[in-house]
Structure 1
Amino acid sequence: MEKRYSTLLTPLFAVPFLLSGCGTGGTTSTPASGDSESGVSDGVVTVDFFNQKPEITAQLEELADMYSEETDGNTRVTITTVGSGEGSAGLQARFSSGDEPALMMLGGLPEVERYSDSLIDVSELEVTDTLIDGTLEGGTIDGVPLGIPLNLEGFGWMYNREIFEEAGIDPDSIQSYDDFAEAVETLDSQKEELGIDEVFAFSGGENYIANQFSANFTSPEFNESIIESYEATELNWEYGDQMKKYTDLFNQYNVQPILTVDYSRSVEELFVNDKVAMVHQGIWIVPTLNDIDPSFAKEKLGLLPVYGESDTEGKIIAGAPFYIGVNKNLDDAVVEEAKNFLDWMYTSEEGKEMITGDLDFVPAQKGYEPEDISDPVSQELYRALLAGETGAMTHKQYPDGWFQQVLYPEYQKYLNGDQTWEDFETNTAEAFKEMR
């Protein structure tokens, strides 16, 4: 899941909240005082799982109950959920109070590193051997894997297959930037016949969209590596020309004023109602689409790569939004059962059915049939991951505050015609180096 930050012209005061498709509400499903504490009592091992995704709380609780039955009640897994951007602070509070969870959901390398002294090396887990190559990288510090990827997500140009078909465009024929630009011009020339307002509804009013979009062009600069991007001391915009071409293209054919277009208008109003052909988003919008039109994701939704490295090198950005770590500071029996639960969740038949069923995940593991995954776009993403045809989520590794305080406002200025692209690159690159 991607955090959504709604800011227009005041990015420094952005307030984090979750996407409508990624859960709502603040702190939820927190057990009564003492009920969540990991430990051993009367022969029962309690494993507390700190969850930062409110929308999957019920499914995790179901898994916990199933596992308790597997152990004849000898293990109890409790789910503590803190969401709406408060998860990181909530986890720190748990550690400060001495009530440390046994399992914890961690949002990428900065958070993994923060708790690295408390985490086990997950290479000893059974599930680790089943993971898709490269997916452990976002949970690895100093060469040691400290977290298991929760699931996988990806983003690029989400498009309406039905509109493309009506316009006579075969998505499979788009094999380069020039092909993409030609498709855009074809769609624009048929706006009236297609019944669309514009070709794009790029959310220029959302800083997280600018952040995600930038990853299409910073990923190749950092060699498609999360670790390399996390350790980078500077950003040189080696592929900035590609980003400028795309920006100029969609800004020309976008719903205007572009800086007023937010997630709600882009996805929930325009895209799902066939009023635009494309948005730059990820598979996390599928639940939102399903809530409005249950047939849209299965029948209309498609995903195109961005040609970020060159006019002919296109990739979908993909990776794990969260990693699950096991706390080694607790009683040995608790640590052992935490490991056992994690292995059971991802390798047992019951767990695997939940992964692609009620949890509706794109799994981070090999061995699934793409057809077992819920919607065609998620299936496409899984195939791309297996084939090594995806870029890295480098946007999650930028210096703290950089995309909110620098990247987004500088990008707004360019979109609004208030500065040159050269100034955008210079200002953002200098701030990246200073803030790192």
Structure 2
Amino acid sequence: MLKKISIFALLTVMLVTLISACGNGNNNTSEQASSAPASSAESASASASAEPKKKDVTIRVFQFKVEIRDALEKMAQEYEKETGVKVEIETHGGGEDYSALLKATLAAGEEPEIITSAGSAGFDPYVDRAVDLSNETWAKDLVEASKAQISRDGKLLGLPMNLEAYAFTYNKDLFAQAGITDLPQTLDEFEVMVKKLKDAGITPFALTNEWWSMGIHTLNIAIANQPDPEAWIEEVKAGTKTFKDDPIMKQWLRLVDIMFANGQEKAITVDYNTQVAEFAAGKGAMIQHGNWIQGNVDAVDPNLNLGMMPVPLLDKPNVFTGVPSNWVVNNKSAHPEEAKAFLNWMVTSETGKKFISTDFKFVPSLNSITPNPEAIGKIAGDFAVFSQAKPDQVKGWQWDRFPDGITQQWGAAMQEYLGKQINGDQLLEKFDKAVSDIVKK
């Protein structure tokens, strides 16, 4: 069970450190993170500490972070050059149901050496496949709060790869163009702000039809705002509380209605990649995503003036943070030891650390990897400033406390609501039905 201050405080410390480095004009961190790969002697030493060179070995990685697909494949090529071990990257994300694809792959008898998983309940289906990584050399360097959601019975069963935060990422220049000088603190102020954008001829939101964005991140805004999210979730699973009768859900519906009524035309046809590309091109003032879109945005316009706007729902606006991806070594695969060696290389070698901090644009989950302020960008930087000033308004990711399969049904219901096929009451009823259907099984 995560304590309230756990991951929020630690992520804040890491990000604030970056902002301080930038503000002081200290370029050493950036230069180190962006430096060329280690010399052949250093690389050989790092590889040797992981495992002796092997030839004619292929390990397969099954993962869902579409933002790092290209960089991850380049890193795999570097690993093969150094060790002779080939790494095949298979990326599934965006509109695909990653969890369903992974389960189907495993059911078909295919066993990738490394699978990526969410934490908490989302990890439960894969516990029996997970190799204990507690004694790996890098385990002691993990941000402490990142471990709980991937640990069972005191054993670390995966590598938490990075930390992320989200709220409304917004275009500061478009806000200025509309005469918006203060960020909204309430839903009423939020509605006024949206109208100002529209009156200035600016589309307020870049929306998407992606089930995971709406069924996970959007809905989490309401769940995380519960006074005690964990207790509330347990009551919902037990059937003693419901989405339909919850007053916070009623406020959340108003927020969603404002978003859905003020996006681009035919948002029901817009996938994630198109959504982010349109936002990066200035076709929307806000997007409900976090620092993970920085690389995609930079590919379109690296000079876009972005920030992270807390989401106003109740009495205080909030941002949301957690560990999005855990790398699990599959004990049923052909080469689990080689997979462990690859993970070790990725987080301890200079080449691997450079990819994580710079090419992936990650806020690392390991204290031994120095984040690159220039790479993580303005979105994460804005979050760091906010979370330092208002740590009580940083909330967690709660969706993985529900059994697998529920968020997919929530996302499908949100797609219906975006498409105006159901009303608000029916949407909340579908949320409750998704829980009862899965929990009863």
Q: Please, what TM-score do these two structures have when normalized by structure 2?
A: 0.68
Q: Residue 218 of structure 2: which of 209, 213, 220 is its match?
A: 213
Q: Distance in 1 between matches of 2:383 and 2:333?
A: 37
The 5 A counterparts of 1:35-434 are 46=57, 48-53=59-64, 56=68, 59-64=71-76, 66-67=78-79, 73=83, 76-83=85-92, 85=96, 100-109=111-120, 112-141=123-152, 144-170=155-181, 174=184, 176-177=185-186, 181-182=188-189, 184-186=191-193, 188-189=195-196, 191-192=198-199, 194-196=200-202, 198-203=203-208, 205-211=209-215, 212-221=217-226, 223=228, 232-234=237-239, 236-237=242-243, 238=246, 239-251=248-260, 253-255=262-264, 259=268, 263=272, 266-269=275-278, 271-296=279-304, 300-308=305-313, 310-312=314-316, 314-328=317-331, 335-366=336-367, 368-369=370-371, 371-381=373-383, 390-405=394-409, 408-409=412-413, 412-413=416-417, 416=420, 419-421=423-425, 423-434=426-437
| Aligned partners of 2:169 and 2:290 also within 8 Å | yes
Aligned residues between the structures? 378
Percent identity over the alignment is 24
Alignment partners' CA distance in 2, 1:233 and 1:206: 29
Using the TM superposition, name which of 353-362 and 252-261 deviates more. Answer: 252-261
Q: Which structure dedicates a bigger proportion of its chain to helix? A: 2
Residue 4 of structure 1: aligned partner: none
**Does the C-alpha gap of structure 1 residues 292 and 48 become closer, same or farther in structure 2, counting only changes over 3 Å?**
same
From the superposition, tell whether residues 267 and 42 of structure 1 become closer, same or farther in structure 2 (CA, over 3 Å): closer
Quickly say closer, same or farther: Cα 1:254–1:66, change in 2 above 3 A.
closer
Structure 1: how far apart are the matches of 2:332 and 2:407?
34
- The two structures have a TM-score, normalised by structure 1, of 0.69
Structure 2 contact 67–295 (Cα < 8 Å) conserved: no
SS of the equivalent of 2:131 reads coil
Q: Is the 8 A contact 1:154 1:319 kept in 2?
A: yes
Aligned equivalents of 1:47, 1:419: Cα separation in 2: 50
Q: Which residue in the other structure is 2:38 paired with?
A: none
Give, in angstroms, the shift of residue 283 of structure 1.
3.3
Unaligned runs of 5+ in 2: 1-50
Per-residue CA deviation, residues 360-396 of structure 1 (Å, 9 max, x unaligned), is: 2232233635625331113344677896864333335
Q: CA separation in 1, counterparts of 2:407 and 2:101? A: 23
Conserved? CA contact 1:202–1:254, under 8 Å: yes
Query: Which structure exhibits the higher relative contact order, with contacts defined as CA atoms closer than 8 Å and separated by 6 or more residues?
Result: 2
* Aligned AA (2:340): K
Residues 253 and 424, structure 2, Cα contact 8 Å, conserved in 1: no
The alpha carbon displacement at 1:161 in A equals 0.6
RMSD over equivalenced CA pairs, Å: 4.2
Measured after TM superposition, the shift of residue 160 of structure 1 is 0.8
Q: Distance in 2 between matches of 1:347 and 1:109?
A: 26
Q: Indicate the residue corresponding to 2:19 in structure 1.
A: none
SS at match of 1:302: strand
Distance 1:120 1:127 in 2: 15
1:13 alignment partner in structure 2 = none
CA contact (8 A) 1:362 1:373 kept: no
CA contact (8 A) 1:356 1:372 kept: no
Q: Any stretches of 5+ residues in structure 1 without a counterpart?
A: 1-39
- Judging by fraction of residues, say which structure has more strand: 1
Q: CA deviation at 1:243?
A: 0.5
Q: Quote the Cα distance in structure 2 between the aligned partners of 1:226 and 1:365.
A: 30
In the alignment, residue 432 of structure 1 is paired with which amino acid? V
2:242 is matched by which residue type in structure 1? N
Q: What letter matches 1:353 in structure 2? A: K
More deviation, 120-129/247-256: 247-256
The AA in structure 2 aligned to 1:135 is S
The one-character-per-residue Cα deviations of 1:52-77 (angstroms, maximum 9, x if unpaired) are 2466455445444555666xx4x625
